Structure 1
Amino acid sequence: MRSVRLSQNRIARLLDRRQPSPWLVLGGAALLVGLLSGAGVWLFETLIHWSAHLFGLFGEWLAPLGVGSLALVTAAGGLVVGLIYHFLIGAERYQGVAGIIESVALGGGQLRYWRVPAKTLAAALSIGSGASVGPEDPSVQIGANLGSMFGQWFRLSDERVRVLVAAGAAAGVAAAFNAPIAGVFFALEVILGEIAGAALGAVLLAAVVSAAFTQAVSGPQPAFSVPVYPYHSALELPFYLGLGVLAGPIAALYAHLLQQMHDLFHAWNAPRWFKPAVAGLLVGSASIYLPQIRGVGYDTVEAILNQAPLPLMLLVALGLAKLIFTPVSIGGGFLGGVFAPALFIGAALGGAYGIWIDGFMTRVNLEPASFAMVGMAAVLAGAIHAPLTAILLLFEMTNDYRIILPLMFAVTVSLLLSQRIQRDSVYMLSLARKGVRIERGRDVEVLEGITVAEVMETRFKSVTENTTLTEVAGLLLQLRSHGLPVVDHAGALAGVITLQDIEHGQNQAAGRALTAGDVCTRDLLVAYPDESLGAALRRMSTRDIGRLPVVARQDP
């Protein structure tokens, strides 16, 4: 730790002497984060390979014990992971992707980056020993912690540290799935909670650099090689509607089981290092009968997408087993992600649904495997509540854009149903259970204790109903604002006029001189001084607006 602090001080002194542009520092840091994230994820995947080889040798040594040796291998992996967590990692304030989201929203992106090597090793051993977890959470951890590290070393503001953390998360996803576009949207939708223009440049740069490194060392090929599944006509959409209706509740159940298993293991009065071994024994025992659920499961997913002759009931069993034993693995203490298992669940159950549909709709030219592809994105979107990330991730992992309409349709239906059943995503649910509810990158539970009257702007410019549109446009330009309140002759709020109102009015003017009163919006969404900021923010989020006029409740 002392050497780290010395390095921080040297970098800070160098920046103080040189005084480079803040944007140059942020861009340089984003480039470093992207490059090192790509290298870190590549090293992580190498560790997974060697870990799987090591546990494979261990399984061969245990082979004389019979089929039960498979369960002992995963249990042994759990024991090693538990000991690493106990001795090298310890208790953490911010855990997993949910912890990164919480840190960005509440902690200025300040992560304990020095713990990443131990966590990366534990995650590689988790996957290599057969736990039902994915590689994306550790990959995001690598990138996000690198972003936090450089932000702290360069002594950047909290806002820029948050940007670098998001950039690192994008780089991690880009490297893990060879999907830079999905990485960018993951950072914006999940980590930051909104598409912020100031952050976009750094996030894009880090994702591109990370993906370029990954393609240089591993090749440009997509994660899955699949045949062409054409979309024939709109007559197919009702079948994909059914898939979305199936995927939404499954995604909600997946999020619920993840939290329930976490609570179950947490309530068990046993040493923390021992719990992953028990979880490993359970997962390993199930994998004796369904070995496909071990590890990431991409080989099985690719087989389903390539129409391997897997029976319908086997696909159902695989999907349900993954749905159950991924929460057991993560709740028990294995380190890993929920992305890859969600893709596996969607592929298995979507493939089963496609076989079932094809069995009684013989006159319709349907490809059962295309339902598996769409099911992957539908379950993922319903689980993480990030539809653009799910859609783009599937496109980049399969390199197939032909089935976009059914894909978007099923994802939308799944997302709406999942949110209706389970308000919070797999990440936000654990935060909500701690009393932290984040919307658009802000903790709205904290804002419940602050009233609008405490923070509202009381000194502001306004225009009257008789002000001409030319005068309003000039004032907006002078104030660098997009809108102004409009008051009547008595000084009461009459409406709000925006640049869009002015443009629309000028298009409809037909030579007439219009005033602010002619074009302003009068049907207003307002806030009240005595209500909480959280309530006002939720109202703004519903309509996706950036400001609200504040009026007294007794005003008509």
Structure 2
Amino acid sequence: MLSTVNHLHRTVGIPSAAFPVLGSLATGTIALAYPEILYWGFENVDILLESRPFVQGLSADLLLQLVGVKIVATSLCRASGLVGGYYAPSLFIGAATGMAYGKFINIAVAQSSPTLQLSFLEVASPQAYGLVGMAATLAGVCQVPLTAVLLLFELTQDYRIVLPLLGAVGLSSWVTSGQKRRRDGKGTTKLNEGNRRPTQEPEMSSSETSGLSSDYALTEKAPYENNPCEIESSLCIDDSSIETEVFEKNVLVSEAMRTRYVTVLMSTLLTEAVSLMLAEKQSCAMVVDDNNILIGLLTLADIDDFSKIIKSENRITKELLVTELCSLDGKRCQVPWIAKPSMDLLSVQIIMDRHGVNQVPVVSEHIEDHKRQPVGLLDRECISVTFRALATRESLR
């Protein structure tokens, strides 16, 4: 749904401010036929669970319709930029799904042959299935299995529900976490294709591109517990539209790069290199020659791995030099990509996303013979801070 909204914004040219209006209109239109999808402060969940007296319950067919409609309405609201989260919708969807399943099971058992109706295979009420469905959906969507189990057990105070609750919550959390790991394994989040611009990729030799430093590994996104905005966006400021607007502007690398960075020589002791990184609060250092020409990138992860290898060989680690680490297997200290101050920041970020790197050295572009003298360091934190600062500056005008 989000990709559809971005496609409309890119091709049709609909302004970002119009999407919340269109999303509200679409949700309201759906609510004319299915008013239960609107948020009534959990009263609609009580209706689904048939916990209110003198209130007629919903049929299994209608419950399944509400599940599909609620998913569509929630997706529309989130994609259009309306304030909301996944917590309350997950409870609604789980309750409706569980109630529908419970009613189907009860109907199937009631219509089965009497010889198959064994006394020790009693079917629970649909409300029990609804409660278990709420916990399972909450655990899967928000990745909070322990919270879901404790929440439902506190609400029911019935120990008999614990075993099916643990089974449903565990299975739901296991399935969704596996899907998330597979998505994260494919790389970091891709930028919208409409915001892409022709990238300026520097020419690199095959030896430089053959090995990536271990600090250039793909960055895994933390689950929802590390990002409460994904669970309930009303707790946070939704600056996606502002950030997209800033993305479209021509922000240069020179505006975002770090001008304080660490440089070391091949003859520098590794202990001294680590001390310099600690002093500058950096996780990497650029390796240069006597003429200040960039020849490599040294990371803390590389040093840590190298020290473990040296200790296994019973060698003294305090006397190790940078050149010993960089010449170990020919793949360490390599610079997979470099940027220049005049490059478009969006293009550099696309390169970083495409190749799964977290930082790139920035070299001067006014040196003869294409010599690469470092002038800065660009990482993902720099990019994030720059876009937030520019967005804040725009909002103050």
Shorter-chain TM-score range: 0.3 to 0.5
Higher fraction of helix = 1
**TM-score (ref. length: structure 1):** 0.35
